[in-house]
Structure 1
């Protein structure tokens, strides 16, 4: 397929997403199933246009003067693919599968508008109702942070130190563009793709099959490391999900002590079994039934709460979620977070840590949630997070933002990672 056919397909997928209010991955999958003639390169390019259009929905729409699927599809190519209005029309000329060329009205809109002149919320590429949330979280940097959340993400990997080291994994991934991550000690980064490119299928690599590495955003690796798990500890990962942080903690502990992986939704735990077998983590116990948690009460050195959240810190990877999010959903997540924190605290031993994590950039889910929890439970106090950060990641003092609550925030513009928040709270009493 030429660019015109790929753009037309992307517009079709965008129309499907808007009409049926469905996740982008589902829409792209269904398009591929009904258009089996499209090769892997075509599907990747179409996906890139769709994702770019959703990341830049506001700025692309503003550039063309409307936010239709056609406008944001064309706008994505102008903003992200290095195309000009003229080069785009030239590329589409004579392609019978292409959408109609840019009209005189559209050409004039593109000629008259410069992205840098757009309103702040447009340059940030965030929903209008989220502006106060970004201003609260980032202050004067909110536009830059929103814009960074609209960029293409890298592909990050975590070396499994139980099986390999970073030099060995990098040697295995030679030719993929892989390089050491900037902050995480065991992180590897493959840069964001350009144009119609696609990331290498690292899960097909023998090194992945042998358990030498996992796919995990550098920010997720960082917040897992900040939990402070050490050899011999007793740790509960209360919202373990697919187990990414569970595996990271297990490696930090050198396969000693015990990690109990629990999730209220059993189905979310399903991938962890294969991951444990592949990576040879031997100190992980799956605790799927609430009754099995009872013996752990007041016995855990660390209880990790990777809470369900809006996922606003992951908008680079899930840009469709940005436009589906509502205030009602945010309020629902806050209620869930409060209930989970109140339940999880019971498992922390005196002197132990309750480590609260989200992949959100909103204070309502982060610092405000911690403050409300502490108001309910005065026996939990934040640790010295500057000291914690400097002890874990010396040489990177400017890569983390410390909040008034004492927690640590990461973000694409600041740390080059997805948006994450972590706050470690120590329970009063004897212990470490």
Structure 2
């Protein structure tokens, strides 16, 4: 396919997403099935256009003069890819499979600068209804923070210290994929592969270091969140919302396979991948507690845990770099529902923490309503718990890991926050509590 034909395809997919309010991967898959002549490079290029347009939907629509697929792509090329009008006209020529030529109105709007006085939610590319929520947490810096949340994310890997040392794993990975990973300053165990425009991500799951269990795919923010929980060898730990086991594996490595981890999730389907991952990583101290109908599979753990980790259900606003279409599908009711889920899971988690034990609450959201507000409400109704000051959580990690976090982590009233702008990670919130009675 010629580049202009790919643009026409991307316009078609964007209009399908808007009309049917469906996830972008589904729309792209259906387009591919209906156009089997398109090769893998074509499909990847079309996908890149679609996801780029979704990352910058509001600002691109403002520059392009409309919210349809064509206008958004016009704005994307003008504002975010730096093309002048003459270059855009070559792509929108109307020839063969190219989009129709520019109209006089389109030339006029592309020549203007509509973002100069645009609202924050337009310049920052996020839904208008949630603008007050983001302004609450980011204040005057909201546009810069949200623009960072609209950039593509790198591929982060965690070195599994149960099987490999970081330098050896980095060398293995370099040999396997033909490029050396970056080593972020915040963690000696993170190997980072920045996104290369126009290129597909390496298939890490087929590489030797992955198959041998030396590395795991996990965002640096998620890695740090697991570290902040403070799991230590010999402890009794419950990963209450374990999902596919990403943080369970990190906890096991921090505990050096000593002690006991109980991995549980309310949805047995989410737990399904954990067994193979545990085996590949060489983890021997995890007991998977799969839910069963009419049975409390955790009743024997009440008041016994040194640490209960809650990777709480949330809106996922911190992951919008990886899921740019998700921010346009989120609805006000979603936030309210997640708040109910979070309150319930915190109440459940409290049952298992022993006196002197810790409760680590984690979300991949940047919204105060899901983070500090939830912790404040929990502490008000549970006087037997106290918060570990966020500064002490950071200091404990720095002392243990010999890494300096500095301004990369923002200290809040009831926890700490990581964001793409500050820490180069997905957005993550962590609060650590102790049970005093």
Q: TM-score normalized by structure 1?
A: 0.95
Does 2:198 match 1:189? no
Match of 2:230 in 1: 228
CA distance, structure 2, for counterparts of residue 344 and residue 395 of structure 1: 31
Superposed counterparts of 1:309-320, under 5 Å? 309-320=314-325
Q: How far apart, in 1, do the equivalents of 2:203 and 2:88 lie?
A: 30
Q: Contact 2:91–2:98 at 8 Å: present in 1 too? A: no
- Work out whether residues 180 and 188 of structure 1, in 8 Å CA contact, stay in contact via their aligned partners in 2: yes
Cα RMSD for the two superposed structures: 1.5
User: Which residue of the partner structure matches residue 395 of structure 2?
Assistant: 390
Q: Is the 8 A contact 1:390 1:397 kept in 2?
A: no
Relative to structure 1, the CA distance from residue 363 to residue 264 in structure 2 (aligned partners, 3 Å threshold; closer, same or farther) is same
Query: Paired residue for 2:423?
Result: 415
Distance 1:73 1:259, change over 3 A: same
Q: Give me the whole-angstrom Cα distance separating, in 2, the residues matched to 1:55 and 1:46.
A: 14
Deviation at 1:104, TM superposition (A): 2.2
Deviations 1:130-162 (A, max 9, x none): 111011111221111111111111111111111
1:86 aligned residue: 86
Please tell me whether the aligned partners of residues 229 and 309 of structure 2 are also in contact (alpha carbons under 8 angstroms). yes
Q: What's the offset of the Cα at 1:96?
A: 1.2
Q: Which runs of 5+ in 2 are unaligned?
A: none
Q: How many residues align?
A: 427
| Conserved? CA contact 1:177–1:191, under 8 Å | no
Residues 144-293 of structure 1 mapped to structure 2, 5 A cutoff? 144-174=144-174, 175-194=178-197, 196-289=198-291, 291-293=296-298
Distance 1:45 1:177 in 2: 25
Residue ranges of structure 1 left out of the alignment (5+ in a row): none
Distance 1:210 1:80 in 2: 41
In the TM superposition, residue 73 of structure 1 has moved relative to its aligned partner by: 2.4
Aligned equivalents of 2:368, 2:87: Cα separation in 1: 43
- Shift in CA distance, 94/105, structure 1 to aligned 2, threshold 3 Å: closer
Contact 1:85–1:102 (CA<8 Å) still a contact in 2?
A: no
Q: Does 1:403 align with 2:412?
A: yes
Q: How does 1:340-379 map to 2 (within 5 A)?
A: 340-379=345-384
Give, in angstroms, the shift of residue 4 of structure 1: 0.9
Deviation at 1:380, TM superposition (A): 0.8
Query: What is the CA-CA distance between 1:129 and the residue it aligns to?
Result: 1.2
Aligned to 1:426: 434
Greater shift in the superposed pair: 35-44 or 419-428: 35-44
User: Residue by residue, what CA displacement relative to the aligned partner does 1:369-389 show, whole Å, maximum 9, x if unpaired?
Assistant: 000111111111111221221
Give 1:191 shift.
Answer: 1.1
Deviates more, 1:175-184 or 1:58-67: 175-184
Separation in 2 of the partners of 1:365 and 1:315? 16
Match of 1:335 among 314, 333, 340: 340
Other structure's SS at 1:189 match? strand
Partner of 1:64: 64
Cα 1:37–1:165 change in 2 (3 A) is: farther
